[in-house]
Amino acid sequence: MLRISSPFISRLSTRQLLFSSRSLTHFHRLYTSQSQPQHQLTKCCAKEKKEDETRKSPLTLAFWSSKTGWKRAAVNTLRCLAGCTLGDFSALWVLQSLYGHWGMGAIMGISMASGITTSILLETVLLRHGADKLPWGMAFRTATGMSLVSMLAMETVQNLVDFHLTGGVVLLDDPRFWAAALVSMGAGFLAPMPYNYWRLVSFLPSLMTHPRAVLSWLEADWAWKHTLHWERWTLAMGARTVVLAYQREGPLLHLGQLQANSNTRHDAGYACSSNRSQKTASQCGNGKKSNLSLKKRLEAIGALPEEVAICAVVLTVASSVGAVSVNPLPAPRNITWGSSGPKRIAGHLNLRTRGSNSQVISQGWDRAWRSIVSLQWVPAATEAPISSFQPFPTAIPSASAKSKRAPSWLQFVDVKVDDLKADLQHGVDESYTLDVKEGSNSVQITAKTVWGALHAFTTLQQIIISDGKGGLIIEQPVSIQDAPLYPYRGIMIDTGRNFLSVNKILEQLDAMSLSKMNVLHWHLDDTQSWPVQIDAHPEMVKDAYSMRETYSHADIRRIIAYARARGVRVIPEVDMPSHSASGWKQADPKMVTCVDSWWSNDVWQYHTAVQPNPGQLDIIYPKTYDIVRDVYNELSGVFTDDWFHVGADEIQPNCFNFSSYVQTWFAEDPSRTYNDLSQYWVDHAVPIFRNVSSKRRLIMWEDIVLSPEHAHEVPKDIVMQSWNNGVEYISNLTARGYDVIVSSADFFYLDCGVGGYVTNDPRYNVMSNPDPNTPNFNYGGNGGSWCAPYKTWQRIYDYDFTLNLTDAQAKHILGATAPLWSEQVDDVTVSSKMWPRAAALAELVWSGNRDANGKKRTTLMTQRILNFREYLVANGVQAGNLVPKYCLQHPHACDLYYNQTAVV
- The yes-or-no verdict on residue 415 having pLDDT over 60 is yes
Contacts of 874 (CB under 8 A, 6+ apart): 234, 236, 237, 375, 377
Q: What is the pLDDT of residues 184-227, one digit of tens each?
A: 788 878 888 888 777 666 655 444 434 333 444 444 444 433 43
- The yes-or-no verdict on residue 159 having pLDDT over 80 is no
Q: Are 212 and 6 in contact (CB under 8 A)?
A: yes
**How many of the other CB atoms lie within 10 Å of CB of 257?**
25
- The yes-or-no verdict on residue 36 having pLDDT over 50 is no
Which has the closest alpha carbon to 628: 659, 678, 588?
Answer: 588
Task: In whole angstroms, give the CA distance from residue 427 to residue 690.
Answer: 20
- The yes-or-no verdict on residue 802 having pLDDT over 60 is yes
Parse the chain into domains and list their residue ranges: 6-252, 334-482
Average pLDDT, stretch 79-87? 77
What pLDDT band is residue 112 in, cutting at 50, 70 and 90?
Answer: confident
Of the residues 299, 438, 549, 650, only one is catalytic, namely 650
- The yes-or-no verdict on residue 22 having pLDDT over 90 is no
Task: In whole angstroms, give the CA distance from residue 493 to residue 830.
Answer: 9
What does the pLDDT read at residue 382?
62
What pLDDT band is residue 524 in, cutting at 50, 70 and 90?
Answer: very high
What does the pLDDT read at residue 161?
81
In the DSSP assignment, the letter for residue 827 is T
Q: Could you tell me how many residues make up the chain? A: 904
Task: In whole angstroms, give the CA distance from residue 4 to residue 2.
Answer: 7
Task: In whole angstroms, give the CA distance from residue 432 to residue 531.
Answer: 39
Contacts of 637 (CB under 8 A, 6+ apart): none
What pLDDT band is residue 280 in, cutting at 50, 70 and 90?
Answer: very low
> What kind and span of H or E run contains 575?
strand 569-576
Alpha helices in 344-435 (DSSP H): 359-375, 399-404
Task: In whole angstroms, give the CA distance from residue 831 to residue 750.
Answer: 11
Entry pTM: 0.68
Catalytic site includes residue 539: no
Architecture of domain 334-482 in this structure: 2-Layer Sandwich (3.30)
Q: Are 464 and 474 in contact (CB under 8 A)?
A: yes
What does the pLDDT read at residue 24?
39
Which has the closest alpha carbon to 163: 113, 117, 97, 112?
Answer: 112
The mean-pLDDT minimum among 44-58, 200-214, 264-278 falls in: 264-278
Q: What mean pLDDT is reported for the chain?
A: 78
What does the pLDDT read at residue 642?
98
- The yes-or-no verdict on residue 406 having pLDDT over 60 is no
Average pLDDT, stretch 167-190? 75
- The yes-or-no verdict on residue 378 having pLDDT over 90 is no
What does the pLDDT read at residue 872?
97
What does the pLDDT read at residue 498?
98
What pLDDT band is residue 171 in, cutting at 50, 70 and 90?
Answer: low
